[in-house]
Amino acid sequence: MKQAAGILIIALVLAAPAAAGDPHASARADLLRCRAALKLLDVARLSKQAAAAQLKPLGAAKKACAVSAALKQASYVNSGDQGLSQAYDAQVGMTDGLLNFGKYVGDIAAGEAGHAKILNYAVAEITQSKILLDDALTQLK
């Protein structure tokens, strides 16, 4: 009986890191964090006051949507895995879009006018990245 219990414990211990190290589960969690943070952003033309209010959610979105080293490694090692590739592409695109939106928000919050071009770039990048993010979540199920 003790031997069977010992084998069961060893099997559970060996299985735990594999589940915790599942690149699909990790990528999915990253993408869901990113999606949740994006819901707090108003990616649109903003007034000075609205831009100032977006600084904190923008920082949270940049952090939540940043490409993790684990996802970068997993997409490289599993280059044929479309779900991981799309997750990586979504986060790279989202990072770029959020950086552009951050430039826009910072300038508007500082009282600078205009910047429609950088806002348009940000909107396009974030919109495309959301599509990739949704596709990746579908693939990673």
> In this structure, what is the dihedral angle of CA atoms 92, 94, 97, 103, given to the nearest 10 degrees?
-90
pTM: 0.81
pLDDT tens, per residue, the chain with 141 residues? 444 433 433 333 333 333 357 999 999 999 999 999 999 999 999 999 999 999 999 999 999 999 989 999 998 999 899 999 999 999 999 999 999 999 999 999 999 876 889 999 999 999 999 999 999 999 998
Helix (H, G, I), strand (E, B), or coil: what is residue 141? Answer: coil
Residues 6+ apart with CB under 8 A from 64: 33, 34, 36, 37
Helix (H, G, I), strand (E, B), or coil: what is residue 115? Answer: coil
